[in-house]
Each structure stands twice: as structure tokens, then as C-alpha cells.
Amino acid sequence: MLALVLAVVAVAGTRDAGAIPPRRLVEVADLSRPVISPDGRHVAFRLEQANIERDTIVTTWYVQDVDGAAPPLRVSDGGFAMHAFHGLSAPEAPVWSSDGRWIYYRAMVDGRIDVWGAAADGSAAEAVTGSSADVRDFSLDADGRTLIYSVGATREQVAAAERAQYDQGVLLDKSVPIGQPLFRSGFIEGRPATQRYRGGRELERAGLLADVEDRWLALDMVTGQQRELSPAARQAVAAESMPGKEGGAWKRAIDRQRGRTATLVRSGSGQGLYVQPYSELTVLLDPAGRRSITCRAGECRHKPITDIRWRPGGDELLFTVTDRDAGSSQSIFRWNVETGTVVPVVQANGLVNGGRDPLSACGVSVRVMVCVAAEADRPPYLERIDLDTGERRALFEPNAALAIDIAATTPARRLRWTDASGQAFSGYFFPARSGSRAAPPLFVNYYQCSGFVRGGTGDEWPLVSLAAQGVAALCINYAPLPLDAVDRYNQGMSAVRSAIDLLASTGEIDRSRVGMGGLSLGAEVTLWTLVNSDLLAAASVSSPAHTPLTYELRNLYDDTFLPALQTYWQLQAPDATPERWRILSPVFNLDKVQAPILMQLPEQEYLQALDYTVPLIKAGRSELYVFPDEAHFKFMPKHRLAVYQRNLDWFRFWLLDQEDPDRSRREQYMRWRVMKAGTVAKKP
């Protein structure tokens, strides 16, 4: 029956194959954090999907047999997707009861975050906690009888603190994110909230009273009785949940049965680079860490290892290598810490982990892993992998129709090339679907191309939609990043230039019609390329570059912002390093910006760009859209669809000279025609 349903879906999906409108990319179903039941027979996972009409991300919990004999069973709604600090949805890992009959998870329902329980057979789902404060973290004890959870300030206390600041005014200090509205100006954990910097760290925002110390409570699951944990018990719980920092480790995995701890420590020469490129894998063989062993096999040494997991009941450690040279593809290996042997389990063409985040983990049992797999041109699906044979089997493909349409119309091709200096790059190329004999234009997105690339880093440029409508699309992975900002930007520009040379030499693109877009580093490299080359005919960015205005807006955060500014951009105050500012900031290079640039910025960041966006707008070379409540990554489905559609329109207009006949966009094209006329008139 499942095969029949998928066949029907496939036929339905290919009726308009070739169009692949942006809406289909916004509505891709994402899967996260599969966790296998204690008996190894079932896997629980969460599906999240944009609902454009409701303008929210809807989540649903499923349980499926690991053998794939039946389709997944929907066991509960997961509530509204809570936001991570940077704007993306926060992953939630389920916790199985010891008897495998229930899963437990955090969920936001009716404006409150509780621990919920859902029966694995789908017969019941209910809130387990009912605190006046939102649950921050939770765990079950070994026998599943006691649920331990933490809470902070109550919802009423948070609302009162927000109202007090509204009524009495906001004291401007280092907690206040200058440059964005100050009252309920963004989303924290799924709802409008007053935001403040957490610990002064850039981009990381939290709600008021987020610094209130955790209260840890214990709930007896049988009697329903609740008690507050003692200080000693609270410290033990907190220590258990904190990531290990043994020997500078950035990740650890604990084998609780045998008291062993695996750690990852950054390694490799980081001289002149943003970060050391590799991770050293070590196992502490006893709880005190007196004995240790380091993996010296070729599969471990000088490798970008990104995840580690113990295989239950044995001596094998599973580790994941994320190879940027291979297009950010992942491979998983088994390392026997007693014998030292390393055996490959799987080598994927994309991500094979626990979801959209490359650092997320598969679910692991004695015999199998269950992972979320995704490739550049294949949306996420759930996969079972046999740990001994490496056999792979799809369990659940919620995006089957889209995958079939992309494969039939705009499949991606992995590219690997070097620039003139010998620096290697990798990426994914979507050839244009076009009936014309002329070479098509090209759109480039630069940053990371992990998993299903959909809209590139930042998820704003619908690559397959562009390719389906005649604009070839290329996503480029950055190489190891130089610490020097000029070297970093020149490296990005060289990646773009050498890719254009490669594709133009084979007649696959027209080098005179190239567009580019990016977020964060991708936006900075796009602006740099626009200013320092003649490669681009049009551009689009979704975040700002550093300017003197940025410096003034963030100068208050001198203990966090200024050291980072000097370390990563080699900038100090504008009057202290004026030459460096003139090189790096677009403010001092506006006369070099000849190609039109579309800016679609979040409300939390757009003020930092006004000292160059306003002159460009007045000169008829730019348009700026600002999206309310949005952070670095845009979250709301209507916003994402609007951004997708406008970017598609923008590059079709400038690179193909095409306009969408939709009457609702008539004024947009009138403005762009005026801009185009002015741009043509200014060319020599």
C-alpha cells in the first residue's frame, strides 16, 4: 500500500514538473533527531513543516518500526516550533520511557512550554508538567519513574518585567540590542518577546529574566507527587547536562555502562585560519581520565570529525566525518577502541545525521542507525543503516514528490575545481532548464552547501526554481577560512571567478550574465565581489556588512564586539584604522557598485547598513526590504516565501530580461525598469 501511495504521489507531483515554484521549497518537510527505543524496535522523530496560511512552523511526532514494515504512526502534535537564538527552529530530542511505551518531549502549546508524553501506539498524548514557568530542560531517571525538569521565571513574571520596562523606559546598557525595537520585538521560543543579549554575545538573544537561575523539580510519574531538588542534586543534574570540556574538548560522548568518555578536540594547523580544520578523537578509558587512547587510523587523523556516538553494549565508537572538499558530504565509521580497527559504515552524497544541522546525530541501537539523509537535490528523508553491513533503506520519504520532480527536471551535479593559486573548492551545480541554444545566465550562492541546499545558506535563493526557469544555479562551499578579512573575501571572489571560468569554458553559462547572493559571510563576499570585480550583473544580500555606523551602534559592547572586530576583520575605531575601513567597508566604495543590488534584511540588523543602503537607493542602484521581527535567519513562512519569490523575480528580470505577468507585481517591475534604464544610461 505504501508503494502504491508513493507511486500516486509521484505521478501527481510530475504533472507540473519543471515549474518547481518557490512555495514547494518553503513547504519542504524537515525531520529531526531520530531516537531509537530501548529495545531497538522503534524510532521516534519529529516532522516540521511550514504552514504558509497560518504563518507558522507546525511540528508532529511520529513513531515507526525500525524494520520499515509499516509506515510511521503519527502519535502527537508537537506544538509550534520554538526558535533557536539565530532564527532557525530549535531541535527537540524525544526521550523514551524505559519500557518503550511512551516518548516524552518539550512542546509549546497554548503559549506555554511543558514536557509532554505521547503513547508510542498513538492512543494518548498529554502534558506531564503544568508549571507556571516554561520548562527549560528535562530527563528521565534510569527506571523511568522520575521525571526531572528545570524551570526559570514564571510567565507572569516575564510579562510583568516586559511591561515594567515599557512603562518606565528601557535603560540602555550592554544587554540591550541597539538598532531593533525594544518591546516584544522578536520571537523567543515561539512567541513575541522582549529581547536582550545573552551574556553580551552577538546574535544570541534571550527573553527578559532568562538569566534567572534554574529551579530543578522531580516529578514522580506514578504518584504525581512533585518535589524540589536539593542543591546537591541540582548540581549533579546540571553537571550531567553540561557539555564536557576535558582537555579543551568541544564535544563528548559518554559510555555510561563502562565509564568511558569520547572527546573531540580541535586539531590541525590553524595558523592564519578562522578555526583549526580538524578534530582529534580520544577516549578516556576510566571516569577519572587517567588512561586514554587516541584514534591514529587514517580515517581518523587530520579529518573534520563532527560527531561521535557509542554503539550500545560494545567497544565500538561511531564517528562522522563531514568532508567539505566532497561538497560537505558525510561518512560514518566504526572504531573499536580495544582493537584499534576502523571500519567504514556508510559514505553518503550529502548529510546523514540527525537533521538539518550538520552537527546533529543519528539514532543508534545495537544493530542499526536511523538517520535523516539529504542531498543537494534530494529533500530530507528517514533512513535505516545496518551497522555491520552498511545496507541503507529508506523508512519515510515525506518529500517524495518534490524529489522526483527535481530529479526529472533540475538535478544537481557535484563540482570540484581549483583556482589560479591552486586552492580547491567544491559545490553543486544546477544546470538551467532552457529551450534556448544560447548559454544561460548563472546565479551563485557562496557559503555552505550542506544537505538539501534549497535556498542556499540563509535559505533565501530558490536554486531549483531558478534553474527550472532558465537561470543556472551554483552553490559554493567555502574553503578553510583565512583569519585576515581581505584574504577571506578574496578567496571567496576567487572561488566565484574560477567557477565562472570553468562553466563558461564548457558553454554551460554566459559569463556576461552572472548574479550572486548570500547571507552573513556570503553577503560580505557578494558585496566584495560587486565592488572589486566586474563579474556580476546583479546581486542580492540578506545581511549587512560592517560600516562606521555598525561600529557606533555596537560600540557599547566593547568587551565582546570590539575584540571580535579586531580579530576577524582587523578593524578598530574608524579614526584608528581608517585605511582598513576604506578597504573593507562598502560605505567608502559606493562609486564602484555599478550592478543593481537587492537587499532583504531582518529588522534586527537593517539599521547597521543604512549608511550605504540609503545612498545606493537614492542613486537608483538598490532596493531595500525589511522584515519585521526577523533575526539573522528569517523564520516566518510568509516572509520566506516573499523573499524566495522576490529573488526569483529579481534575477529573472536582470539576467533573463523576463517579467512575471502576475498583476500584483506590476509596481515592482515598474520600479525595476526605471532602475534598469538608469543603470544602462550610466554605462560607458
Exposed/middle/buried for 223, CB within 10 Å: 0-12, 13-18, 19+? exposed
Note the pLDDT tens digit of each residue in 609-662: 999 999 999 999 999 999 998 988 998 999 999 999 999 999 999 999 999 998
CA–CA separation, 443 and 446 (whole Å): 10
The answer to whether residues 379 and 444 belong to one domain is no
Phi, psi of 495 (to 5 degrees): -60, -45
**What was the pLDDT predicted at 5?**
37
Q: What is the pTM of this model?
A: 0.92
The answer to whether residues 346 and 429 belong to one domain is no
The answer to whether residues 334 and 260 belong to one domain is yes
Note the pLDDT tens digit of each residue in 228-276: 988 777 766 665 554 444 558 899 999 988 889 999 999 988 778 878 8
The answer to whether residues 533 and 628 belong to one domain is yes
Contact call for residues 42 and 100 (beta carbons, < 8 A)? yes
What 3-state DSSP class applies to 299?
coil
The answer to whether residues 385 and 409 belong to one domain is no
CA–CA separation, 115 and 455 (whole Å): 33
Q: Is residue 64 part of a domain?
A: no
The answer to whether residues 427 and 281 belong to one domain is no
> Which residue ranges in the chain fall short of pLDDT 70?
1-18, 84-87, 190, 199-203, 235-247, 327, 680-684
Q: Is residue 487 part of a domain?
A: yes
The answer to whether residues 392 and 481 belong to one domain is no
DSSP 132-145: SEEEEEEEE-TTS-
Q: Is residue 625 part of a domain?
A: yes
The answer to whether residues 389 and 413 belong to one domain is no
Take residue 34 and report the three cell numbers written for it: 531520530
Note the pLDDT tens digit of each residue in 309-352: 999 999 999 999 998 777 679 999 999 999 999 999 999 999 99
Q: What's the domain range around 652?
A: 403-545+585-682
CA-wise closest residue to 535 among 526, 523, 545: 526
Note the pLDDT tens digit of each residue in 432-460: 998 778 999 999 999 999 999 999 988 99
pLDDT > 90 in the chain, percent: 74
Q: H/E element holding 640?
A: helix 637-651
CA–CA separation, 244 and 261 (whole Å): 9
CA-wise closest residue to 632 among 516, 540, 543: 543
Contact call for residues 28 and 608 (beta carbons, < 8 A)? no
DSSP 411-446: --EEEEEE-TT--EEEEEEE----S-SSPPPEEEEE
CA–CA separation, 94 and 88 (whole Å): 19
CA–CA separation, 58 and 48 (whole Å): 6
CA-wise closest residue to 42 among 115, 117, 114, 119: 119
Domain boundary among 338, 368, 398: 398
Q: Residue 684: count other Cβ atoms within 10 Å of its Cβ.
A: 2
**What was the pLDDT predicted at 232?**
75
**Contacts (Cβ under 8 Å, ≥6 apart) of 83:** 89, 90, 187, 188, 189, 190, 631, 635
Q: Which CATH number covers residue 272?
A: 2.120.10.30
Q: Is residue 175 part of a domain?
A: no
* Structural domains counted in the chain: 2
Q: Is residue 557 part of a domain?
A: no
Q: Is residue 676 part of a domain?
A: yes
Q: Is residue 177 part of a domain?
A: no
β-strands 73-80, 56-65 pairing: antiparallel
Domain boundary among 398, 426, 449: 398
CA-wise closest residue to 352 among 290, 394, 413, 303: 394
Q: Which CATH number covers residue 415?
A: 3.40.50.1820
Domain boundary among 398, 425, 441: 398
Q: Is residue 190 part of a domain?
A: no
CA–CA separation, 349 and 329 (whole Å): 5
What are the C-alpha distances in Å from 159 to residues 165, 184, 185, 344?
A: 10, 10, 14, 53
